[in-house]
Amino acid sequence: MTRSIKVLIADDHSVVRMGLTSLLGTAKNVEIVGEAIDGADAVRKTARLNPDVVIMDLVMPRKDGVAATEEILAANAAVKILILTTFGTSDDIARALRAGAAGAIMKSATNRELLAAVQAVAAGKRVVSDEVEGILANDPPIPDLSQRQHEILESISRGLTNKDIATQLDISLESVKSHIKIILEKLGAASRTEAASIAQRKHLLAH
């Protein structure tokens, strides 16, 4: 007899957890071993329950889905993480996949698609839905910015001039200009204003 796929559901909305538990609970080869209310809870319960698959929401309090994915896989690379999200920028999804998530699908997926995705990642396959592929294609993820570039982007978004930024960060004006040029290239922005707008939309700012 084939062993059931042990699944942990991580989502901060109880109605979502209930719905997924009800849906997957009807599948003959799936066993729901637990629920987690946020990323930190998902990390703890994965270590304790040792599921085959963790269905992971991206946006959760205390620890988001990307951070939880990184921590879980650092401790146990055999666990398969399936990202399930209603929204999120391409950057969030791309970060989760880079962190080692085995798949990503939208919460709008049909019951059949969800079950098929769980079974596929449990079997070692990579699953990225057409909707997620579309998000990644239409809104390409931003290349990683260095810590200094993040600091300068924050300053740009607050309306600081190049001279203000140089003084605040105790670096030369030429260094600020060089960093800004690289930032604009990475963001695909034509101006400081557009860079600030992209940073806001892509959740690149600390506040």
- Inter-residue contact 59 to 52 (CB < 8 Å): no
Q: Largest Cα–Cα distance in the chain?
A: 70
* The CATH number of the domain covering residues in 5-138: 3.40.50.2300
Question: What is the arithmetic mean of pLDDT over 105-130?
Answer: 93
**Pairwise CA distance, residues 122 & 102, whole Å:** 9
Alpha helices in 99-202 (DSSP H): 111-122, 130-138, 147-157, 162-169, 173-187, 192-201
Where do the domains of the chain lie?
5-138, 147-201
**Pairwise CA distance, residues 52 & 207, whole Å:** 36
What pLDDT shows up at residue 91?
Answer: 80
What pLDDT shows up at residue 108?
Answer: 86
What pLDDT shows up at residue 135?
Answer: 81
**Burial (CB count within 10 angstroms: exposed 0-12, middle 13-18, buried 19+), residue 138:** exposed
Distances (CA, A) of 200 to 2, 103, 166, 178: 48, 26, 22, 22
Question: What is the arithmetic mean of pLDDT over 148-170?
Answer: 93
pTM reported for the whole predicted model:
0.73
User: Sorting pLDDT into bands at 50, 70 and 90, what band is 89?
Assistant: low
Question: What is the arithmetic mean of pLDDT over 73-87?
Answer: 92
The tokens for 35 are 């629920």
What pLDDT shows up at residue 88?
Answer: 61
Residue 207 or 126, more confident: 126
What pLDDT shows up at residue 62?
Answer: 86
User: Sorting pLDDT into bands at 50, 70 and 90, what band is 151?
Assistant: very high
Out of 79-83, 130-134, 138-142, 167-171, least confident range: 138-142
**Model pLDDT for residues 10-50, shown as the tens digit of each residue:** 999 999 999 999 989 888 899 999 999 999 999 999 999 99
* The CATH number of the domain covering residues in 147-201: 1.10.10.10
User: Sorting pLDDT into bands at 50, 70 and 90, what band is 184?
Assistant: very high
Sequence-separated (6 or more) residues with CB below 8 Å from residue 20: 9, 11, 55, 84, 114
- Inter-residue contact 180 to 156 (CB < 8 Å): yes
What pLDDT shows up at residue 32?
Answer: 94
pLDDT over 80 at 201, yes or no: no
pLDDT over 70 at 134, yes or no: yes
Question: What is the arithmetic mean of pLDDT over 156-171?
Answer: 94
What pLDDT shows up at residue 142?
Answer: 76
Average predicted confidence (pLDDT) for the chain: 90
